[in-house]
Structure 1
Amino acid sequence: MTHKTGGQVTRRAARNTSIRPLIFAASMALTVGVAAAPDVAFAQDFRFNAISVEGNQRIEAGTIASYLGVARGETVSAAQLNDGYQRILASGLFESVEIEPRGNTLVVRVVEFPTVNRITFEGNARIDDETLGTIVQSQSRRVFSPSTAEADAARITEAYSQQGRIAARVQPKVIRRSDNRVDLVFEVFEGGVSEIERIGFAGNQVFSDRRLRRVLETKQAGIFRALIQSDTFIEDRIEFDRQVLRDFYQSRGYVDFRTTGVNAELSDERDAYFITFNVEEGQQFTFGEVTATSDLAEVDTDVFQNAIRLRSGKVYSPTAVETEIARLERLAIREGLNFVRVEPRVTRNDRDLTLDVEFLLTRGERVFVERIDIEGNTTTLDRVVRRQFRVVEGDPFNPREIRESAERVRALGFFGDAQVEAREGSTPQQVVIDVDVEERPTGSLSFGGSYSTSSGFGAAITFSERNFLGRGQQLALGVTTGVDSSNYSFSFTEPAFLGRDVAFNLNVNYLETDNASAEYDTAIGNFSTGFTFPVSENGRLSLRYGARYSEITNLNPEVGSIITAEAERGEVWDSFVGYRYSYDTRRTGLNPNAGVLLEFGQDFAGLGGDSTYVESTLRAVAQTKIYNDEITLRATLQAGALSYSEGASRVTDRFTLGTNLMRGFEGGGIGPREVGPGDVNDPLGGNYFAVARFEAEFPLPLPEEYGVSGGIFYDVGSLWGLEETNANVLYEDFTARHVVGVSLFWDTPIGPLRFNFSEAISKEDFDEDQSFDLTISTQF
């Protein structure tokens, strides 16, 4: 009985050979071999005294015989021979196999697969050879496998699909070499990016398409489509967006929200997608009755009931419930109650669209943390990851606390990926926490330059490291030089001083100006160090010590008498201690659309140095969103006071109002100034300032992919107060200035830009207003 391959590939001189005929040949070998002897397959038995293997070069004959499974002198059927043939073929080592009974000898002829000489990639530009080499499983100096090569081609195609290049094609080919070797070549056609031309929604009534598109990770192709990768079609990202939409709606009380389907239609040119999310919003629910109960005798429910912050009538949010559970479980630990778990029981009231929440304190499983294993942190020290956990080995196991710890690990920003899982330990009453992280770069070195017609060329070098020496410390060095100024800065922060939730910081800065067109030059040096630590759930307190050096030199002859007198004091040293308290509800507040930030600080100078004073600053910001999150309203109040009891302030010490504090005026454009004979017009700054800013941001009727939105603002404020004055000093008293304006916000790859067009509707004669400014927009 003879089994012969019907599509056997023989050696030939052709250099470029597709591997698909090889796969066809191997698969046809079984089919043709079975058909070769249909009259013998079930009618004859065989007995062989010898087994002869022919054609093998690298693989031992005994190895092939072991695959065959036929012993000498053993009686075998045709079916058993066929099974042996299949085992040899399935080993993946041979292009073709023939089995031929020749008297008392069974002859096995094989053609071995060649070995891979080298692997190359052609036609790839978007993904380099090194990256593709990590994707494929075929290896040099290993036996060539057509099925593995085909699987490698599929993996490369998938890698391009993840970049939005769904038209990418990969063709594996072999080039025959001597000594039964081949070069494996993957010919890549990358194709173009399949962008998302349009994202739409069907079924949404409460929130507009524009608002929902801002929630999604996937974006429509905009004018910066060549730089932004989020406008390419990636299937996994679409699935993530479904979850993001669900979280968005549920955090606003729409507990029945669901995405019924996502339609992705490809354009005829196969270069763009049109995506439609089909949604069902449902009704909005609010909190009904919120109570704390317990089935444990040792629990005083009144203590927990009084600690609940959720109130009836507020919009229901699962995040608020989770936050409340975490607070109550921490309270239980402080009350000495171990293994107490808080289980939320939600009762739905469809009649009045409320959800009653009962927080049941019950006994959890007596499970302990056996150990915490950390892997993958090749740079970051174990203790940096471990201190994100509020539990240690031997503590009671709390799944919710582990989830929160995992979020804190990810929030460090040191890792590209961080997975935290719990598994059973050495006993069912113990668990092991596995932390698997993947490091990513945390340092940067940047070079920059600048040029202006007035000051000439300038250069800037900045080095920053967010995970210095793998200790989680932050280090930054900066040097900025120009024709007329030089600025040198150094900062260092230890976020966990002595292993505690206390941040230690050290800052040094030196600024020197030497401008021929200015009225005077300055040299200002600052040093400060201190500690910051939490004092409540939303409050943090900073304590610091600092020293300051300032000098005014090279006065222009036309400078007024105030600054001249201040420059004659020469070098001035100040030494101070201070504090700053901040209260921030932006992350822990119950309303996802609103937040409040309060900051108040004071510096007390007089511990050495040349002056004694108290400097106080205040900042209060409130923000909310209205009209289904379409419009953002923000109000900001900032104020400061500088009071000297010994010595006096100088122009380098006093407050000034730049565009970051009050729009519509240049830096030093308002406040006390000395105006005298000749060209004397010196802004002096002030010991007191107060500014209130009110603004609204809203969408514009433009395609959303442009990333452009609008805003309006109204600023009112003043700068006033001096210790020493004369008859030529104007505006020493409080005089409010008023500014109105419009803003244009533009999301660009370099950051969110803000263009302000302003008009001062109330100002003084010598004020220097500014009708336009460009800033990098930031969130408070």
Structure 2
Amino acid sequence: MNAVSAVALSAGVAMTGAIAIELAATQVATAATVSRIEVRGNRRVDADTIRNYIAIRPGRSFSNDDVNEAVKRLFGTGLFSDVSITQSGGALVVSVEEYSVVNQVIFQGNKKIKDRNLSAAVQLQPRKSFSNQIMQADEETIRESYRRIGRDDATVTGRVQELADGRVNVIYDIQEGGRTKIKSINFVGNSAFGAGRLRDVITTKQSNFLSFLMRNDIYDENRLRADEETLRRFYYNRGYADFRVISSSADLDEAENAYTVTFTVEEGERYRFGNIGIESTISGVDSESLRSELQTRQGRTYSAKDVEDSIIGLTETVAGQGYAFAQVTPRGDRNFETHEIDVVYSIDEGPRAYIQRIEIRGNQRTRDYVTRREFDLSEGDAFNQVLVQRAKRRLEALNFFQTVNITTVPGSQPDQVVLVVDVMEKSTGEFSIGAGYSTGASDSSGAGFSVEGSITERNFLGRGQFIRVSAGGGQDSRDYSLSFTEPYFLGRRIAAGFDIFKRTRSFDKYDRDITGGTIRFGLPITEALSTQIAYNYTQEEYTGTDECADITAASCDLATALKDAIGEGTWKKSSVSGSLIYNTIDDMKNPHSGLYANLTLEVAGLGGDAKFIKATARSTYYQTLSDELDLVGLLSVGAGHIQAISGDLRVFDHFSSNDRIIRGFDYNGIGPYDSATGDHLGGKTYFNASVEAQFPLPMLPESLGLRGAVFADAATLYGSDVAGAIGTDLKWRASVGAGLLWASPFGPLRIDYAVPVMKEDKDEVQNFNFGISTRF
């Protein structure tokens, strides 16, 4: 029998961390046979299992190549750290050295990242084979996890604790180090916009004393790439069609454990739109009839967004005419002398391509279907780039992701493509707090501070659902509420939700307890226009004052009359309401442009005690007045009217003034009042208007999120069904003031100081107001 020299494989660590396999030199005859196969060194793996892996059988000839393949298969199981196959007489001897089995994976020294999160990240797991190479890879994985939370100097050392029966505990010793800060963000090559304005645009922020709460000063290479794209869009939408980011870099100062981030840019010239044209190679498409779909206008500042919106409008209109594969391509012709760009939209019959599948990547918390349902496309549909871009906008508008990138790769057939959606998730939970101060009034809750706190989750359990819980109150008030919204009710783009609330108030002459709820449904009409219908039910309980000993006779008469009017029972209101909402705001948290308008009609009388019709309208328009100074103008107007269907309105059904109608006056501090006590009673009709300018505060870093505002308000509240009310005529009030806006870790907050410049004698002043900064 021909002897077979030893053939062995050994595992070594290469530069890449992979296992390099080296074959020992062999001199083997072309074929050999053995009478038996002996397995040595195995402790947990059954000998027959090993024999099956090598695929060499007694009595059958085998070659050196068969031995090599057998060794590779055994190593490929991941169960053995060493394998050798030799021939001894008539036996083929398979010697193995098994990997130890992981008993426990232990993390020591970690506080900022919990054990369960680290366990989910590493490869070594209990009851799996141990490998030094995998342990080293896990060390790097843990370090990367710390880099993602801003701790670049964290160190990780893995070690093994030997146990009996070939088991080991794997221990990772972690020194978390300090937070790695962003010392500065610099821009090179910019002249049209200052560094402060550009720092406000990007998501990466410089470190400040609030960074431990805001967590926006963490360096991340993916975020840096996203910031590059944000800068491009910022410039492209403001006329700089030749803008480019030459480079972006982050240099770590290890002594300070801080990054210096630098963007080098080339702005180019600013352009305006020149001639705008439409060409079509599709015989059934009339180019001139499509001009109404264009958002680009000759003479306007060039904007890539306007071009994109024009492409969307043209594509949808042509597709609606039966050309599903129509493709709209813009062609720009720059005039370097006049700084104009002529744009021609070419409409052609595009290639017939279909979507094979949509692949979602990067979502660890958000369910796949939450992302997939934002597409108006599904597997098997005709590929449409416009609808893909619309889905991208919708995903970005969800505010669940830091970045959204959609690419295509070839499918399994020439006419098929695969949509790949890469997302990077961000925190979707918020904690907010607001406060106010009341000077007190004769028929309002007592003077003093009131506070409100809320917890909001926009992506509840990764299902895309919205939930908000809030509570607040002051010395004589308590408020509680719960809101929930399912944005895709029954799998359709219908938002369904409910609100439950309870409010209690203690006044000088009575106590009020209101409990109620709303069931609502919202339906989009267009991308900007939507409608909402709701059923509302409230139950109000009033308790009048029995004691008149310590108040004036007039007040006692009013208290008695009030008690007679409201009784000491329950007042029920059952109503339905409908709203039209138009929204083109660019950023609901930090608006710079767009219009938000809301028209609501409520009819009460479907059972219950209240019977009225109430209409309210509010519109707020934002416009950037200066991109260079980041100066934003705001114009807001509103109106409301309520009319009893039968009888007179109760005093509690009237409108009450508040800081959304006019600042500088107390809650319910203007309008009709009681002739005997001066208590304000509210009104049947109001009109209000406000103008405001918002601007960054000089000398303060943009990362603090602070902005200033100056404003002027005007309002009137008049008309009343309450007997004895006076001051019911239309009389205007006005105020001017200044405010401080803060994009805080607790939500958008603002504080205003307003001074009335036009008022009536009985009006009640409240100069300071503190609360939510953006309310639509």
TM-score by length of 2: 0.79
Partner of 1:56: 41
Contact 1:670-1:719 at 8 Å conserved across structures:
yes
Partner of 1:616: 615
For residue 230 of structure 2, give the secondary structure of its aligned residue in structure 1: helix
Q: How does 1:694-713 map to 2 (within 5 A)?
A: 694-704=691-701, 705-713=703-711
Partner of 1:152: 138
Contact 1:576-1:607 at 8 Å conserved across structures:
yes
Distance 1:180 1:480, change over 3 A: closer
Distance 1:563 1:657, change over 3 A: farther
For residue 164 of structure 1, give the secondary structure of its aligned residue in structure 2: coil
For residue 214 of structure 2, give the secondary structure of its aligned residue in structure 1: coil
User: Among residues 702, 714, 717, which one is paired with 2:715 in the alignment?
Assistant: 717
Distance of 1:199 and 1:365 partners within structure 2: 45
Amino acid of the residue matched to residue 620 of structure 1?
S
Question: Which string of whole-angstrom CA distances, capped at 9 and with x for unpartnered residues, describes residues 119-147 of structure 1?
Answer: 32222222222222222222444443222
Partner of 1:635: 635
Distance of 1:206 and 1:610 partners within structure 2: 62
Distance 1:756 1:492, change over 3 A: closer
Deviation at 1:663, TM superposition (A): 1.1
Distance 1:495 1:105, change over 3 A: closer
Distance of 1:640 and 1:573 partners within structure 2: 22
Partner of 2:742: 746
Amino acid of the residue matched to residue 539 of structure 1?
L
Q: How does 1:92-491 map to 2 (within 5 A)?
A: 113-368=99-354, 388-391=374-377, 395-405=381-391, 407-408=393-394, 411=397, 428-429=414-415, 484=476
Distance 1:710 1:522, change over 3 A: same
Contact 2:431-2:453 at 8 Å conserved across structures:
yes
Distance of 1:247 and 1:766 partners within structure 2: 53
Distance 1:446 1:235, change over 3 A: closer
Distance 1:232 1:131, change over 3 A: same
For residue 390 of structure 2, give the secondary structure of its aligned residue in structure 1: helix
Distance of 1:301 and 1:689 partners within structure 2: 48
Distance of 1:52 and 1:394 partners within structure 2: 55
Distance of 1:351 and 1:450 partners within structure 2: 57
Distance 1:62 1:261, change over 3 A: same
For residue 682 of structure 1, give the secondary structure of its aligned residue in structure 2: coil
Contact 2:523-2:532 at 8 Å conserved across structures:
yes
Amino acid of the residue matched to residue 519 of structure 1?
K
Contact 1:455-1:482 at 8 Å conserved across structures:
no
Distance 1:428 1:564, change over 3 A: farther
Q: How does 1:675-690 map to 2 (within 5 A)?
A: 675-676=675-676, 680-690=677-687
Deviation at 1:221, TM superposition (A): 0.9
For residue 681 of structure 1, give the secondary structure of its aligned residue in structure 2: coil
Deviation at 1:664, TM superposition (A): 0.9
Q: How does 1:546-585 map to 2 (within 5 A)?
A: 553-555=543-545, 557=548, 558=551, 559=555, 565=561, 567-570=563-566, 579-585=578-584
Contact 2:650-2:721 at 8 Å conserved across structures:
no
Larger radius of gyration: 1
Distance of 1:107 and 1:430 partners within structure 2: 53
Question: Which string of whole-angstrom CA distances, capped at 9 and with x for unpartnered residues, describes residues 177-215 of structure 1?
Answer: 344443322222222121111111111111111111111
Deviation at 1:447, TM superposition (A): 13
Contact 2:596-2:619 at 8 Å conserved across structures:
yes
Contact 2:544-2:559 at 8 Å conserved across structures:
no
Partner of 1:666: 666
Amino acid of the residue matched to residue 730 of structure 2?
F
Distance of 2:67 and 2:539 partners within structure 1: 95
Contact 1:2-1:98 at 8 Å conserved across structures:
no
User: Among residues 675, 693, 707, which one is paired with 2:690 in the alignment?
Assistant: 693
Q: Does 1:522 align with 2:521?
A: no
Distance of 2:31 and 2:488 partners within structure 1: 79
Deviation at 1:156, TM superposition (A): 1.5
Two-structure CA RMSD over aligned residues (Å)? 5.4
Partner of 2:770: 774
Partner of 1:37: none
Distance 1:274 1:291, change over 3 A: same
Question: Which string of whole-angstrom CA distances, capped at 9 and with x for unpartnered residues, describes residues 56-91 of structure 1?
Answer: 2347599699989999999999x9999999999999
Amino acid of the residue matched to residue 774 of structure 1?
F
For residue 240 of structure 2, give the secondary structure of its aligned residue in structure 1: coil
Mean Cα displacement is larger for which, 478-487 or 759-768?
478-487
TM-score by length of 1: 0.78
Distance 1:76 1:671, change over 3 A: closer
Q: How does 1:30-49 map to 2 (within 5 A)?
A: none
Distance of 1:104 and 1:545 partners within structure 2: 89
Amino acid of the residue matched to residue 521 of structure 1?
D
Contact 1:702-1:708 at 8 Å conserved across structures:
no
Deviation at 1:553, TM superposition (A): 4.1
Distance of 2:89 and 2:488 partners within structure 1: 84
For residue 223 of structure 1, give the secondary structure of its aligned residue in structure 2: coil
For residue 739 of structure 1, give the secondary structure of its aligned residue in structure 2: strand
Deviation at 1:694, TM superposition (A): 1.6
Distance of 1:81 and 1:530 partners within structure 2: 72
Distance of 1:281 and 1:237 partners within structure 2: 21
Distance of 1:91 and 1:573 partners within structure 2: 73
Amino acid of the residue matched to residue 310 of structure 1?
T
Deviation at 1:435, TM superposition (A): 8.0
For residue 312 of structure 2, give the secondary structure of its aligned residue in structure 1: helix
For residue 329 of structure 1, give the secondary structure of its aligned residue in structure 2: helix
Question: Which string of whole-angstrom CA distances, capped at 9 and with x for unpartnered residues, describes residues 630-672 of structure 1?
Answer: 1111111122223447422332111111123211111022222
Partner of 2:653: 653
Deviation at 1:404, TM superposition (A): 2.4
For residue 275 of structure 2, give the secondary structure of its aligned residue in structure 1: strand
Mean Cα displacement is larger for which, 111-120 or 435-444?
435-444
Amino acid of the residue matched to residue 332 of structure 1?
V
Q: How does 1:599-610 map to 2 (within 5 A)?
A: 599-604=598-603
Unmatched tracts of structure 1, length 5 or more: 9-18, 35-40
Contact 1:163-1:232 at 8 Å conserved across structures:
yes
Distance 1:372 1:308, change over 3 A: same
Distance of 2:597 and 2:564 partners within structure 1: 39
Question: Which string of whole-angstrom CA distances, capped at 9 and with x for unpartnered residues, describes residues 664-713 of structure 1?
Answer: 1110222222253xxx2311112222222121111222331433322212
Unmatched tracts of structure 2, length 5 or more: 439-444
Distance of 2:516 and 2:263 partners within structure 1: 55
Amino acid of the residue matched to residue 213 of structure 2?
L
Deviation at 1:55, TM superposition (A): 6.9
Distance of 1:91 and 1:579 partners within structure 2: 65
Deviation at 1:98, TM superposition (A): 8.9
Distance 1:80 1:377, change over 3 A: closer
Distance of 2:407 and 2:731 partners within structure 1: 61
Distance of 2:380 and 2:81 partners within structure 1: 59
Question: Which string of whole-angstrom CA distances, capped at 9 and with x for unpartnered residues, describes residues 319-364 of structure 1?
Answer: 2222221221221232233322222222222222222222222112
